[in-house]
Amino acid sequence: MGLTLSANSQLDADAIQAYLQEARLPLRLAVSGSDGCPIVASHWFEYRSGQLYCVLHQGALVAKRLAATGCCGFEVAHESMPYRGVRGQADIAMPPVPAEGQLKSLFARYGIKEDSQLATWLLGRIDEEQVVCLTPRWVSGWDYSERMSDAR
C-alpha cells in the first residue's frame, strides 16, 4: 500500500516507511473532543503494510472519540535533537478482532517482557482492549539532522 505524501514532506515514502518500522517511540494520536478541543494521547504502535496499529482500552476517552469521529491526526517524532519524525492524518478502523496478538506484538517491539507486571496487568484485561488501525490519508516526514549537526 502506497503512502500519500504531503507536498512539503522532506522525506520520501521509502524513508518514511523505514522510519515508522524502526522507531521505538510512542505514536501521538490527536482526535477532536466532543467540545471540539483536541485530545492528544501517546500509544505504542506497529507499522505494517502501510497502516499503523495500536491497542487501546475500550473505555478510554480517546478510543470513544476515535469511534465517534473515524479519523485522527498522528505524529511519531523524537523529542530531542536532532529532530526528525513523521506526522499525518488517518482514517480509523476498529476491527472486531482479539487484541491479544497485537498487544503481544507491541510488547516484543518495545522490549516489554510478557511476564512483567505491566504486561500481566494489560493481558489481565485483554477482553477490554481494542485493536485500532490507522490508514494514513497523507503523511509528511522531516529530518533536521544535517542542519543541527553542530547545534550542540
Domain holding 98: CATH number? 2.30.110.10
> What is the predicted pLDDT for the residue at 151?
54
- Residue 2 resides in a domain: no
The total number of structural domains that make up the chain: 1
Which residues of the chain fall below pLDDT 50? none
HEC sequence for the chain: CCCCECCCCCCCHHHHHHHHHHCCCCEEEEEECCCCCEEEEEECCEEECCEEEEEEECCCHHHHHHHHHCEEEEEEECCCCCCEEEEEEEEEECCCCCCHHHHHHHHHHHCCCCCCHHHHHHHHCHHHEEEEEEEEEEEEEEECCCCCCCCC
> What is the predicted pLDDT for the residue at 1?
55
C-alpha cell at position 120: 500481566
- 74-101 per-position pLDDT tens digit: 999 988 777 899 999 999 999 999 999 9
- Residue 152 resides in a domain: no
Range of the domain at 115: 13-143
- Residue 102 resides in a domain: yes
> What is the predicted pLDDT for the residue at 78?
87
> What is the predicted pLDDT for the residue at 49?
92
- Residue 5 resides in a domain: no
- Residue 7 resides in a domain: no
- Residue 4 resides in a domain: no
> What is the predicted pLDDT for the residue at 41?
96
Spatial contact of 67 and 94, defined as CB atoms under 8 Å apart: yes
- Residue 148 resides in a domain: no
pTM: 0.92
